[in-house]
Amino acid sequence: MDVITSRRSPRLSGLRNVLVIGASTGYGLASRIAAAWGFGARTVGVFFERPPEGIKTASAGYYNTVAFHELARRDRLHTASLNADAFSNQAKSEAIEIIRRDFAPIDLIVYAWLLRGALIRTPVKVFNSALKPIGQPFFEQDHRARFGKSSSCDAGARKQ
């Protein structure tokens, strides 16, 4: 954090509004920091972290987000965060409302969600989440040595 906030060179251009799904740790948090301080972008972060409750401490990602907001406020950067299950219909509606109100149009979406391949349940059908390229075939091999399983997926090109 100190490296990017202490740079003397001018900010980069090209990003104004960024949505980061999985914004509280790792690649998502790093992407959000780079977008905010490196480009001066306005960022929306969606994550699912446990806040403190009673004598129990919060999850690390929760404290990361608190620190991110304190530093962003200090540096007058425009940010919003949504602590919710990104796959739930309610969270999607809330995120869309935040974006429409303060962050449209989105220039970049960073998908850094921890649960790759999470199940999305609706009253009609169950979907598996996946990021796939548009206009070209997709092939993936998944080796989960911890569980002694291996699988592959071969899907044709997406049309949209």
User: What tens digit of pLDDT does each residue of 29-72 get?
Assistant: 999 999 999 899 999 999 999 999 999 999 999 999 999 999 99
pLDDT at 87: 78
Poorest-pLDDT segment among 7-21, 34-48, 96-110, 135-149: 135-149
Residue 99 has pLDDT above 50, yes or no: yes
Q: What is the dihedral of CA 157, 46, 63, 43, to 10 degrees?
A: 100
Q: Per the confidence metrics, is the pTM higher than 0.85?
A: no
Indicate whether 90 pLDDT > 50: yes
Domain carrying residue 14: 2-129
Residues 42 and 96 in one domain: yes
Whether 133 and 156 have beta carbons less than 8 Å apart is answered as no
Is residue 159 predicted with pLDDT exceeding 90?
no
Residues 6+ apart with CB under 8 A from 65: 23, 24, 45, 47, 49, 81, 83
Same domain for 91 and 28:
yes
138 and 116 fall within a common domain: no
Q: How confident is the model at residue 138 (pLDDT cuts 50, 70, 90)?
A: low
Residues 136, 155 within the same domain: yes
Do residues 16 and 93 both lie within one domain?
yes
- Vertex 95: Cα angle to 125 and 81 (nearest 5): 130
Q: Which residue has the tokens 């740079």?
A: 7
Clarify whether residues 124 and 150 are in a common domain.
Answer: no
Q: Does pLDDT of 156 surpass 60?
A: no
State whether 58 and 75 are in the same domain: yes
Domain CATH number, residue 51: 3.40.50.720
Grouping H, G, I as helix, E, B as strand and the rest as coil, residue 127 is strand
Same domain, 28 and 60: yes
Q: Are residues 44 and 57 in the same domain?
A: yes
For the chain, the distance separating the N- and C-terminal CA atoms, rounded to the nearest angstrom, is 37
Distance (Å) of CA 90 to CA 23, 66, 68, 94, 106? 18, 23, 24, 6, 20
Structural tokens at position 132 = 């796939």
Q: State yes or no: pLDDT of 17 exceeds 70.
A: yes
Q: Say yes or no to pLDDT of 82 above 90.
A: yes
Closest by Cα among 85, 123, 121, 96 to 19: 96
What is the share, in percent, of the chain residues with pLDDT greater than 90? Answer: 56
The structural domain count of the chain equals: 2
pLDDT at 160: 47
127-87-110-59 Cα dihedral, nearest 10 degrees? -130
Q: How many whole angstroms separate alpha carbon 114 and alpha carbon 112?
A: 6
Whether residues 76 and 139 fall in one domain: no
Pair 65, 111 in one domain: yes
pLDDT exceeds 80 at position 7: no
